[in-house]
């Protein structure tokens, strides 16, 4: 008999497979140029994307792609370098500088192919005029702790950057550009994915300032000057640099949810997709999910048992504790476990599809009705761990962490709640 955990892991595997950009790239190859083919990119899936393109392209090419530490793959013609995520570092700054110099040499007969996926904002760490890498690091850390949404964080990031917000496309002009995208943002907006280095940006420096004020984040005077100087605005819709520019969406959160739903039906489950763009505080979103799970268990709504609730998107964590470990998916699941306790028939997993939940080594965690009792037997006060944002430690002590290693894709969060 297939266990609850085995069913959840089968759905997770299907979700990850559906998000693999290497499957879609050979089906979406661009027209060959008269001149050179240059491959650039940034993101946690971008090295995998570059390798797939290189294998499918039978002409010479060159280029540089930056990915997260531990996410590199071997390429023969495209250079792959690694840098820090989610807080940028000097390696990311150097990579961004080199990428910008490479595309500035492209001519009208050349093709620039850009591989963009989640994580690209931190990995393309090129500060705007007057600000330093240390300034960007400080602001990034504050945003990550604030509970800001990914769209809010990336609005700030692109306005403090010399390469994001369409500036990479502007530097590549007049070359033809094709951007391949793997979406890790709610709504799949290309302008938000990795802060949109190759697409037009409708937001303004004032929008970025408003976000920083809302979350009470102090920034250096040089950053304020940059955000209020219209001469340093991001590249807006209608700019000629985007003429002839093509964007190709390779993988989305919805694709993964539908793949998981198919496996669920094959297992005799009733799948319910709650949404691919769910946002909010992770612990609060978990309470909402628990309420729906209880409605299924008690009343057979919105679907009868056996049922699986599937959802994606990107929750946030407002850091309240000190010294805690754990990302948003682990925190979601810890809050969910507190709601479920040891109720029979309720199991769940939550992961970041890139294989790294926040900055730890786990993708997320997995629970079943034994998880609560294991915590009680170990003397673990789960509410205290949640209060300290220490979900990683809690799940490590009851052996419920889920470790996949880097998946080389990234379509944001994947959550599955099984009700039997």
The pLDDT, as a whole number, for residue 296 is 98
The CB-side HSE value for 194 (13 A sphere, CA atoms) comes to 36
Three-class DSSP category at 289? helix
Of residues 388, 380, 312, the one with CA closest to residue 350: 312
- Nearest-angstrom CA–CA distance, 199 and 163: 11
Share the mean pLDDT of the chain: 96
Three-class DSSP category at 352? strand
- Looking at residue 113, the DSSP 8-state letter turns out to be E
pLDDT bin (cut points 50, 70, 90) of residue 23 is very high
Q: What is the pLDDT of residues 352-404, one digit of tens each?
A: 999 999 888 999 999 999 999 999 999 999 999 999 999 999 999 999 999 99
Q: Which residue has the tokens 């290309």?
A: 190
Tokens of 168: 């990479």
Q: What is the pLDDT of residues 47-103, one digit of tens each?
A: 999 999 999 999 999 999 999 999 999 999 999 999 999 999 999 999 999 999 999
Of residues 315, 313, 375, 38, the one with CA closest to residue 175: 38
The pLDDT, as a whole number, for residue 132 is 97
Share of the chain above pLDDT 90, in %: 97
pLDDT bin (cut points 50, 70, 90) of residue 326 is confident
Share of the chain above pLDDT 70, in %: 100
All CATH 3.40.50.10180 domain ranges in the chain, comma separated: 31-251
Sequential DSSP letters for 125-155: --B-TT--HHHHHHHHHHHHHHT--HHHHHH
247 CB burial (10 A radius; 0-12, 13-18, 19+): middle
Sheet of 79-83, strand order: 79-83, 62-68, 37-42, 111-117, 176-182, 246-251
Q: Which CATH superfamily is domain 31-251 in?
A: Glycerate kinase, MOFRL-like N-terminal domain (3.40.50.10180)
**Is the distance from CB of 154 to CB of 192 less than 8 angstroms?**
yes
1, pLDDT greater than 70: no
The pLDDT, as a whole number, for residue 257 is 98
**Is the distance from CB of 169 to CB of 126 less than 8 angstroms?**
no
Of residues 78, 108, 109, 112, the one with CA closest to residue 95: 78
Q: What is the pLDDT of residues 171-225, one digit of tens each?
A: 999 999 999 999 999 999 999 999 999 999 999 999 999 999 999 999 999 999 9
Tokens of 123: 């990995």
Count of H-run helices and E-run strands, the chain: 16, 12
All CATH 3.40.1480.10 domain ranges in the chain, comma separated: 4-14+253-419
The pLDDT, as a whole number, for residue 320 is 86
Domain at 4-14+253-419: CATH code = 3.40.1480.10
Contact residues for 282 (Cβ-Cβ < 8 A; gap 6+): 315, 316, 317, 328, 329, 331, 332, 335
306, pLDDT greater than 90: yes
Tokens of 139: 């602001």
Q: What is the pLDDT of residues 229-274, one digit of tens each?
A: 999 999 999 999 999 999 999 999 999 999 999 999 999 999 999 9
């Amino acid at each position: 008999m297939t266990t609850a955990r085995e069913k959840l892991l089968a759905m997770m595997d299907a979700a990850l497979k559906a998000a693999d950009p290497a499957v879609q790239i050979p089906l979406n190859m661009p027209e060959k140029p008269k001149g050179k083919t240059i491959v650039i990119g940034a993101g946690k899936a971008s090295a995998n994307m570059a390798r797939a393109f290189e294998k499918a392209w039978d002409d010479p090419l060159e280029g540089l792609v930056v990915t997260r530490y531990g996410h590199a793959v071997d390429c023969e013609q495209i250079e792959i370098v690694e840098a820090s995520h989610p807080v940028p570092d000097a390696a990311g700054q150097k990579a961004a500088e080199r990428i910008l110099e490479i595309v500035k040499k492209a001519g009208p007969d050349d093709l620039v192919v850009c591989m963009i996926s989640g994580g690209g904002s931190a990995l393309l760490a090129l500060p705007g005029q007057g600000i330093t890498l240390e300034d960007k690091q400080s602001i990034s850390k504050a945003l990550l702790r604030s509970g800001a949404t990914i769209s809010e964080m990336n609005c700030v990031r692109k306005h403090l950057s010399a390469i994001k917000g369409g500036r990479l496309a502007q530097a590549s002009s007049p070359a033809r550009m094709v951007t391949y995208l793997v979406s890790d943002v709610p709504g799949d907006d290309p302008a938000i994915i990795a802060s949109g280095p190759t697409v037009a940006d409708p937001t303004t420096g004032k929008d970025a300032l408003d976000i920083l004020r809302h979350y009470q984040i102090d920034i250096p005077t040089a950053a304020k000057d940059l955000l209020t100087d219209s001469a340093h605005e991001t590249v807006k819709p209608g700019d000629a640099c985007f003429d002839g520019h093509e964007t190709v969406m390779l993988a989305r959160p919805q694709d993964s949810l539908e793949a998981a739903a198919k496996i669920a039906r094959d297992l005799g489950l009733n799948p319910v997709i709650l949404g691919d763009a769910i946002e909010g505080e992770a612990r609060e979103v978990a309470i909402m999910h628990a309420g729906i799970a209880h409605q299924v268990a008690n009343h057979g709504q919105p679907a009868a048992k056996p049922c699986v609730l599937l959802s994606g998107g990107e929750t946030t964590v407002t850091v309240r504790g000190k010294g805690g470990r754990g990302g948003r998916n682990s925190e979601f699941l810890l809050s969910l476990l507190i709601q479920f306790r040891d109720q029979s028939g309720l199991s769940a997993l939550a992961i970041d599809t890139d294989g790294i939940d926040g900055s730890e080594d786990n993708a997320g965690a997995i629970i079943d009705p034994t998880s609560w009792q294991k915590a009680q037997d170990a003397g673990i006060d789960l509410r205290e761990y949640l209060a300290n944002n220490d979900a990683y430690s809690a799940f490590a002590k009851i052996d419920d962490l889920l470790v996949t290693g880097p998946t080389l894709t990234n379509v944001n969060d994947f959550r599955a709640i099984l009700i039997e």
